[in-house]
């Protein structure tokens, strides 16, 4: 007999509060982030029991392609309920943080689980999904009775800064229509290294590109701020672009490098009260 269990969407709303990301100042073209999960939580499928690993793999597979056939050992009693945009083509399964893994009631064959999926693509971009499932262990395999997944935004932003000499790229007006996947490799290939910038002395006309490597809400843009004097970082043009959650800034201006350079550039979200995501410290 199969029990009909409630869809675990309510669990998803609380999951993002259990994970946080801390970003710090970084050199041009680099970024740092630390994803923190609750203690005693397996972060790899290899650390999980076979039944739990099979359920997580099935949820990810259904999220990637709801029409794809399963291997026969894991079946869905009901389709995975998905909230939000589901296009994860090109993104493989990275870390898995398990938040809940407990029996349902007194029967150890009925279980519920929830957690967070980190997906990544070859460019180094990431997206995060919370998920929850209730399932039954049977002799012939696993039956997932109910399951749900939803994107998580706002806790895992990972920012990359690039300075590019202006003669290395076309004018920004010609780059406005480039998509994230095209622009990032082009910018990275032509960006100045940190050592090259330190060797400069004085003001230099440059392009500055800021990429958020983690998918975010399509309605929230990036903003660029500086705490230095206007004479150290003069931005003459700045364009913030959000392509279905993939955000970047293209800017040009004059920036001081080498001796006496001491200012910070901030990447922030354009909310009522801007939230700083990352800081680039430019110092001699």
**Helix ranges (DSSP H) in 37-151:** 50-64
Same-domain pairing of 198 and 76? no
Q: Can you give the pLDDT at residue 27?
A: 42
For the segment 161-175, the average pLDDT, to the nearest whole number, is 94
For the segment 59-70, the average pLDDT, to the nearest whole number, is 83
Count the alpha carbons within 13 Å of 73 in the hemisphere toward its beta carbon: 8
Q: Give the CATH number of the domain where residue 102 resides.
A: 3.10.450
Which pTM was predicted?
A: 0.80
> What whole-number distance in Å separates Cα of residue 224 and Cα of residue 180?
18
- Per-residue pLDDT of 191-213, as tens digits, reads 999 888 888 888 899 999 999 99
- Per-residue pLDDT of 221-258, as tens digits, reads 999 988 766 578 888 889 999 999 999 999 999 998 88
Helix/strand/coil percent split, the chain, to 5? 20, 45, 35
Same-domain pairing of 29 and 137? yes
Number of domains comprising the chain: 2
Domain membership of residue 195 (yes or no) is yes
The 10 Å Cβ neighbour count of residue 225 is 14
pLDDT tier at 133, thresholds 50, 70, 90: very high
Same-domain pairing of 164 and 136? no
- Per-residue pLDDT of 92-120, as tens digits, reads 998 899 999 999 888 889 999 999 999 99
Q: Give the CATH number of the domain where residue 182 resides.
A: 2.60.40
Q: Can you give the pLDDT at residue 264?
A: 87
28 and 163 Cβ atoms separated by less than 8 Å: yes
pLDDT tier at 284, thresholds 50, 70, 90: low
> What whole-number distance in Å separates Cα of residue 137 and Cα of residue 10?
23
Same-domain pairing of 107 and 175? no
Domain membership of residue 245 (yes or no) is yes
Same-domain pairing of 110 and 220? no
Range of the domain at 265: 159-283
Same-domain pairing of 181 and 255? yes
Q: Which of 95, 119, 152 is the last residue of a domain?
A: 152
Q: Can you give the pLDDT at residue 44?
A: 67
Distance separating the N- and C-terminal Cα atoms of the chain: 71
Residue 56: phi and psi, rounded to 5, are -60, -45
Same-domain pairing of 108 and 132? yes
């Amino acid at each position: 007999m199969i029990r009909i269990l409630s869809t675990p969407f309510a669990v998803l709303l609380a999951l993002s509060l259990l994970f946080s990301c801390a970003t710090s100042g970084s050199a041009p073209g680099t970024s740092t982030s630390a994803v923190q999960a609750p203690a005693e939580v397996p972060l790899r499928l290899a650390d999980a029991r076979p039944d739990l690993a099979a359920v997580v793999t099935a949820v990810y597979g259904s999220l990637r392609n709801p029409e794809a056939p399963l291997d026969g050992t894991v079946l869905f009693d009901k389709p995975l309920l998905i909230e939000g945009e589901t296009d994860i083509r090109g993104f493989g399964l990275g870390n898995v943080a398990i938040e809940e893994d407990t029996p349902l009631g007194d029967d150890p064959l009925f279980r519920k689980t929830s957690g967070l999926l980190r997906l990544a693509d070859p460019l180094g971009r990431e997206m995060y999904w919370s998920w929850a499932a209730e399932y039954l262990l049977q002799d012939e395999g696993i039956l997932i009775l109910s399951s749900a997944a939803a994107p998580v935004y706002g806790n895992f932003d990972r920012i990359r800064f690039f300075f590019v000499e202006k003669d290395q790229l076309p004018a920004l007006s010609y780059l406005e229509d480039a998509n994230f996947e095209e622009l990032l490799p082009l910018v990275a290939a032509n960006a100045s290294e940190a050592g090259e910038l330190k060797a400069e002395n004085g003001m230099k006309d440059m392009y500055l590109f800021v990429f958020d490597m983690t998918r975010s809400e399509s309605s929230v843009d990036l903003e660029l701020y500086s705490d230095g004097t206007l004479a150290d970082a003069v931005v003459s043009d700045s364009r913030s672009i959000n392509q279905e959650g993939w955000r970047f800034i293209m800017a040009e201006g004059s920036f001081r490098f080498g001796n006496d350079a001491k200012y910070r550039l901030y990447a922030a979200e354009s909310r009522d009260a801007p939230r700083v995501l990352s800081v680039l410290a430019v110092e001699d």
